[in-house]
Amino acid sequence: MSSLFRHIPSMDSFLQDLQKDQTLASLPRQLLKDLAGEFMDLCREEIRSGVIAEESDLAWPRLVARVKAYVRNRSRPHFRRVINATGVVIHTNLGRSILARDAVASVLQGCRHYSNLELSLETGQRGSRYSHVEELLCRLTGAEAGLVVNNNAAAVLLVLDTLAKGREVIVSRGQLVEIGGSFRVPEVMKKSGAVLREVGATNRTHLADYEEAITDQTAMLMKVHTSNYRIIGFHKEVDLAELVALGRRRDLPVFEDLGSGNLFDFSPYRLMPEPTVQQVLKNGVDVVSFSGDKLLGGPQAGIIVGRKDYVERIKKNQLNRALRIDKMTLAALEATLRLYLDPAVARAQVPTLAMITASADELRAKARRLRRKLAVLADVADIGIRNGFSRVGGGSFPEQDLPTVLVTVRPRGMDLEALRQGLLSADIPVIGRVEEDAFCLDPRTVMAEEFGLLTRAIQTVLAADTD
């Protein structure tokens, strides 16, 4: 074993070869050195653990190929584009919503040039960053006022901190939800300094439960949209209109955390009913908060709309300064919201909406096109088509299966797990699903212009294995 250590080439010989490689030569010299050093440590480790067991494992051509792959892999940007072939439209791990073209263009403008972010072009004096979206939000939702912050978790925190700090907020036990691990209603409540007053049972809460819990300590009635699960069977939630009426009677604001709030009416698309922000406000809710990057299909943001007196107080909260939205987000959000001025335009141009509402015919045609593209793999894999289901994701439309047409890849001579792994380390990683006997690609979330890249990625992984 000790003699093997001596067969690891010197740092200089590694560096010489790395610098001969066109793509690697442009990397900073110190980075090349560090990574070559890491690779040499890895070789030593492999000798100790027996992975490298004989001299031939350290043959120069083999080591050069390995060190190049290692350096290439370790020097790639960490945050990268991937191809989402999972069919989950709002996939939190894959960045939730992708932006409409107009939104992307607006972000580019906003960061390549100076802007009127906080300048009133009427007076030449200081303006407010909220002015860019407030009017639009009011027009689209029917609200009197609105503001935007970093994300919906921040929006909830800010609403609670402003309207209920040190006092009680009444919430049904059936709505104390956890969203993706780090957002839990009771925890956010604690952070805000508001006191949670739970009422009802997990499955059933009645209006009387709220009514009996109201004291002079009560600051607010809160409803949380149970967006990522459904209670079925023996259950009851208080009707929103009844809750609003109670709030009015007792002079208490009613706040709804709508989670993945939508401005678009999905009801013609055979999906389970999801209330729009407009409907919730129309029902008389005083303050509503929702995410920018879930069903809305915009950038990560938290949107707060509602009655002017409450929203003005929220705007003045000092905490707001720490949660404020940045200019790139604001640019993307305004452009996204503008598309909603015409619902047909929004449906066509906001990718999240287009993907959710894609018709069976569109998906079948897309699947066929992808299958034809993948026909170049016929020597190494069986390519097929089968019916399947996609999910909306992002805690929206839980339990809602969207019928889709999947393209299946069944490699001959490579197992599915190896294909799945290989695609994760591709230059543009491809994320798909392994279902039964096949690696499945859902065309719902793959753009037609990605078919070439997708095909090349699979081709590369399958070819690498036969080497």
Ligand X SMILES: *Cc1c(COP(=O)(O)O)cnc(C)c1O
Q: Which residues are at the interface with ligand X (CB under 6 A)?
A: 151-153, 156, 177, 179, 183, 224-225, 227, 257, 259-260, 291, 302, 395
* 3-state secondary structure at position 304: strand
How far is CA 306 from its chain centroid? 25
DSSP tag of 326: P
- Compare residues 152 and 352 and give the one whose CB is closer to ligand X: 152
Closest CB to ligand X among residues 394, 411 = 394
Nearest residue to ligand X on Cβ basis: 259
How far apart are alpha carbons 245 and 445 in whole angstroms?
42
Question: Of 291 and 329, which has the nearer Cβ to ligand X?
Answer: 291
Output the smallest distance, CB 292 to ligand X, in A. Answer: 7
Buried b (16+ CB within 10 A) or exposed e, 300-322: bbbbbbbbeebbeebbebebbee
Q: How far is the CB of 392 from ligand X (least distance, A)?
A: 12
User: What amino acid occupies position 189?
Assistant: M
Minimum distance between the CB of residue 180 and ligand X, rounded to whole angstroms?
7
Q: Measured from the CB atom, is 47 or 222 closer to ligand X?
A: 222
Query: Least separation, in Å, of the C-beta of 438 and ligand X?
Result: 32
Per-position DSSP letters for 101-159, written without gaps between them: HHHHHHHHHHHHS---TTB-TTTSSB--TTHHHHHHHHHHH--SEEEEES-HHHHHHHH
List CB contacts of 274: < 8 A, sequence separation 6 or more: 262, 266, 295, 396, 397
C-alpha 46/C-alpha 135 separation (Å) is 63
**What angle (nearest 5°) sits at the alpha carbon of residue 352, between those of residues 347 and 356?**
75
In whole angstroms, how close is the CB of 396 to ligand X at the nearest point? 8
- Pick between residue 24 and residue 177 the one whose CB is nearest to ligand X: 177
Nearer to ligand X, 259 or 443 (CB): 259
Dist CA 221 CA 285 (whole Å): 10
Indicate the residue among 266 and 439 with the shorter CB distance to ligand X. 266
Phi-psi region of 287 (alpha: psi -120 to 50; beta: other; left: phi over 0): beta
Residue 288 or 440: which CB sits closer to ligand X? 288
AA letter at 249: R
CB of 381 vs ligand X, minimal distance in Å: 38
Smallest separation, CB 50 to ligand X (Å): 46
Give min distance, CB of 229 to ligand X, in A.
10
Of the candidates 438, 444, 455, the one whose C-alpha atom is nearest the C-alpha of residue 389 is 444
Report the candidate in 219, 97, 209 with the shortest Cα–Cα distance to residue 169: 219
